[in-house]
Structure 1
Amino acid sequence: MSSAAGRLAALAEQFLGAPLPIRIRAWDGSEAGPQDGGPVLVIADRRALRRILYRPGELGLARAWVAGELNVEGDLYAALDRLAGLIWERDEPAPEARSAGSAVAAPLRRLRGAARMAGMLREPRFRAQLREVAGLTGIGLPPRPPAEEARPQHGIRHTLGRDRSAISHHYDVGNRFYELVLGASMVYSCAYWEEPEARTGDGRADLERAQFAKLDLVCRKLDLKPGQRLLDVGCGWGSMALHAAKEYGVSVVGVTLSREQAAYARKRVADAGLEDRIDIRVQDYRELDPEVDGPFDAISSIGMAEHVGAVRYREYADRLYALLREGGRLLNHQIARRPLGGEAEERGYRVDEFIDRYVFPDGELQPVGTTVSILEQAGFEVRDQEALREHYALTLRQWVANLESGWSEALRLVSAGRARVWRLYMAASALAFERNRIGVNQLLAVRTTPAGVSGLRLRRGGFARAS
């Protein structure tokens, strides 16, 4: 009888119609697949196969990874790159297919996949191999999902209560863990990196410099002046509020839905002696009253809008517009997905199951063009757009390095499953940015006066990094 790895490789190659892209090692020590010195996918427990059989695709693989039943020996990025075509890309249309007529592409691909599977099931050899794998997995019910998985939510998305629950799932895992991953800056959004020749080679130090540069870039785009009022939506651990108050002399209201973040930010504010100029609140942006809390001279929203949701985005834009004074500026820093094209834009988009269950429940991405349109529909004039895609890839790789170098400490702070979620999510996201599957953009928008005065310079500029 052939080894477990051999049988799995044979079944996988018949299903894929191509050679296995990565070497595998089964729980019995057997190996199969390419011998090219690349990474090895380790199936440490046959329960992983049961998870995949009961939930084929991304979610089954993710559950096995979080549970520690799947591991990678070697370069995780290289392994994910090899597996990407199996997990994320097999059902994606080619760029030329993202057109007005591509609404039927996804259903047709699924039908072709179902027809292929039906045809394979009629083949005696494939049925025999499938029986072998079923025997390898053991008889039984599907394994319970890991404890780190968020329970599926039902009902209306992006209500106040549901958004608070989603934010808590992601952010309330312990501030010390975030310190380990993010570094001293405690900024959870992409940094603004220098060219390679200008970096020191010390990843942690370069990250801190890049995060300072990003916060300063936001402040300069907003043209902050002493005595002005800034609203920081989704203020996190208070880094933007502290930077703006210290470096530019403004007063800041920062809002977050995470109580752990708010407590941490308030302590930082107190330690800096800025309690008279920074107000950190546990509050939803929808709870800000323009008549009571406004007007603000500027608003920063950095890495928060991904949580708003498509059904609420116009409401988000309308509320920020109402909170700004005439001539005030908004800096919206937001991750964007690639457009699908045509009717597929409405029907074809779905959040990755791994991200939805383990990382950002109810998180949603939209194309940057959609964001621009909605902001302008709300009354803003979008004056500047800067793409920072490569910057986020660099940031994520450093966060992964921070986590990996502090792995023992991470396991004392959170569960092994939670640490594994973060390692996988950040590494996969770094590759997604590098391969242009997703991007991130800073949009500078202004609420012009009734006469159309924007207050911006005639020529683009003035945003370059300070020397």
Structure 2
Amino acid sequence: MPAYDGVASRLAPLLVRILLGEEAPAGDEGAAAGLPIRVRAWDGSVVGPPGAPEFVLRHRRALRRLLWKPGEMGLVRAYVAGELDIEGDVFAALGAVQRVMRGGDEPIRLSSDDKREIVRTAVMLGAVGPEPKPPPEEFPAGRRGEHAGPLGESAAFFDRMLGPTMAHSGGLWDEAVDLDEAQRTALAEAAELLGAAPGARVLDLNAGWGALACHLAGRHGARVVALARTEGQAEHIAARAEEAGVADRVEVRGRDLDGAGGGPYDAVAALAGLAGAESLDRAVPRLYELLAPGGRLLVQQPVRRPGPHHVRRTFTTSYVFPEDGELVTLGELVTALEDAGLEVRGVGARREHHARTLRAWAANLTRHWDECTELAGPGRARVWLLYLAASALACESGRIGVHEIRAIRRDRDGRAGTTLVEGRAVQGFAAP
């Protein structure tokens, strides 16, 4: 078969428009040259530069999704549904079409001529029809409050993906040789920054699968209240604490800040970040109330670049974190902390460390792919691989950042000094 025969050759100019929002060069070979990817169509024909990342359109329905939603959401829906596959390195494939992954639910804008040409091509390929329903893995539009995290993936799934520590925040890679060491180093640093000590009372927001809570209780003798987002996480944390012999020092409660009780706490950890912008005004003052005078707050927060920002549905809010997917800027977060009366004592960039952690998680997922698809289902496994790859690329390119913010509630005399919980003194942040 000649290189530009078949369905693929007809798809080339169309894909340049609906994936990139650009005018394809004239002629079949010109259109193929305009593609940063290689495309294999359902009839076996191929178009695109040799050696480029390869997308496989397994069904006409994938094209129909892209016609209805040019850009990110069409691509995501086709991939999650299994109608479109990525052969080889998913990072290289997404990197080649990064522009698609920046547009959220806003379709790429097409001219009237583009639309007429696309419809003509779609008719020729038998891809015209009503808009396909979103995959069942997609959260319904406007869904909030019902769920804020994984949709039922088991602890076994996350054990395969996150690795032995099951830490759900970024590791520290300065001297680490693998993910396990990077995560253990990060947990040790977090414990030091929190001032973990025997008897200290610590609140672990979004405790994940209990890595930090059990580390603080087991290695440092702290008493930890761990807020779990799902029933599965709560059960796993409780079992993990029991196995580690620290069940008497780890108390698992519901995910909302209401579950934290009245405090006071010597320290609060938010290694998976605080809530989105609309919640900061409510959440941060509550954290201030929960901290004892001199108490510490440690936040690791994904942030976006400053500038105009239009809230819209994205892949992340539609498939992974419906409530927490909208990022704030570092300035907004610091301002919210200071407005609540907390004193910011230090800010550090963790973007490169987080990107490397995301790549390591993706490597784990692909290494255990068959087992993970059996545990979570093919669609959810695809969601997580796409999320990890897209997030890593966004970190590496600087489109999003991850910062560690250390703050403190000053004591009664305005000092960083000590915390006083139940008559005990625990050393606070040292003055810079």
Mark yes or no: TM-score above 0.5: yes
Q: 1:82 aligns with which of 81, 96, 114?
A: 96
Structure 1 residues 163-208: Cα deviation after superposition (integer angstroms, max 9, x where no partner): xx222x525321110111001101111111124xx62xxxxxx211
1:319 aligns with 2:313: no
Identity of aligned residues (%): 41
Q: Give the Å deviation of 1:288.
A: 3.2
Shift in alpha-carbon separation, 1:40–1:283, aligned structure 2, 3 A: closer
- The answer to whether the 8 Å contact 1:329/1:446 transfers is yes
Q: Give the Å deviation of 1:119.
A: 4.8
- The answer to whether the 8 Å contact 1:51/1:63 transfers is yes
Cα distance in 1, alignment partners of residues 301 and 341 from structure 2: 19
Instruction: Tell me the TM-score normalised to structure 1 length.
Output: 0.82
Q: Summarize the alignment of residues 17-166 of structure 1 with structure 2, pairs less than 5 Å apart.
A: 17=23, 19-35=34-50, 37-88=51-102, 114=109, 117-121=111-115, 127-128=116-117, 130-153=119-142, 162=145, 165-166=146-147
Structure 1 residues 356-386: Cα deviation after superposition (integer angstroms, max 9, x where no partner): 1111112221011110000010000000111
**SS at 1:335's partner residue?**
strand
1:226 aligned partner? 198
> What is the total number of aligned residue pairs between the two structures?
405
**SS at 1:253's partner residue?**
strand
Cα distance in 2, alignment partners of residues 59 and 137 from structure 1: 21
Q: Summarize the alignment of residues 267-286 of structure 1 with structure 2, pairs less than 5 Å apart.
A: 267-286=239-258
Shift in alpha-carbon separation, 1:33–1:273, aligned structure 2, 3 A: same
Q: 1:370 aligns with which of 308, 313, 332?
A: 332
Cα distance in 2, alignment partners of residues 2 and 128 from structure 1: 19
Instruction: Tell me the TM-score normalised to structure 2 length.
Output: 0.88
Q: Give the Å deviation of 1:137.
A: 4.0
1:434 aligns with 2:414: no
Structure 1 residues 405-453: Cα deviation after superposition (integer angstroms, max 9, x where no partner): 1111112211111111111110111111111111111111000023210
Moved more, 138-147 or 446-455: 138-147
- The answer to whether the 8 Å contact 2:101/2:390 transfers is no
1:211 aligns with 2:211: no
Extract structure 1 runs of 4+ deviating beyond 6 A. Answer: none
AA matched with 1:131:
R
- The answer to whether the 8 Å contact 1:376/1:382 transfers is yes
1:310 aligns with 2:316: no
1:124 aligned partner? none
Cα distance in 1, alignment partners of residues 142 and 15 from structure 2: 33
2:421 aligned partner? none
Q: 2:365 aligns with which of 403, 407, 410?
A: 403
Q: Which has the higher contact order (CA 8 A, sep 6+)?
A: 1
Cα distance in 1, alignment partners of residues 100 and 245 from structure 2: 53
**SS at 2:387's partner residue?**
helix
Shift in alpha-carbon separation, 1:278–1:128, aligned structure 2, 3 A: closer
**SS at 2:42's partner residue?**
coil
Q: Give the Å deviation of 1:289.
A: 3.5
1:11 aligned partner? 14
1:174 aligns with 2:168: no
Cα distance in 2, alignment partners of residues 128 and 63 from structure 1: 23
- The answer to whether the 8 Å contact 2:206/2:255 transfers is no
1:463 aligned partner? none
1:295 aligns with 2:264: yes
Give RMSD over aligned pairs.
2.2
1:191 aligned partner? 171
Greater helix share, 1 or 2? 1
AA matched with 1:284:
D
Shift in alpha-carbon separation, 1:30–1:283, aligned structure 2, 3 A: closer
**SS at 1:320's partner residue?**
helix
Shift in alpha-carbon separation, 1:249–1:443, aligned structure 2, 3 A: same
**SS at 2:323's partner residue?**
coil
AA matched with 1:132:
T
Q: Note the residue ranges of structure 2 that are not aligned, 5 or more in a row.
A: 25-33, 418-428
- The answer to whether the 8 Å contact 1:380/1:445 transfers is yes
AA matched with 1:16:
E
1:421 aligns with 2:383: yes
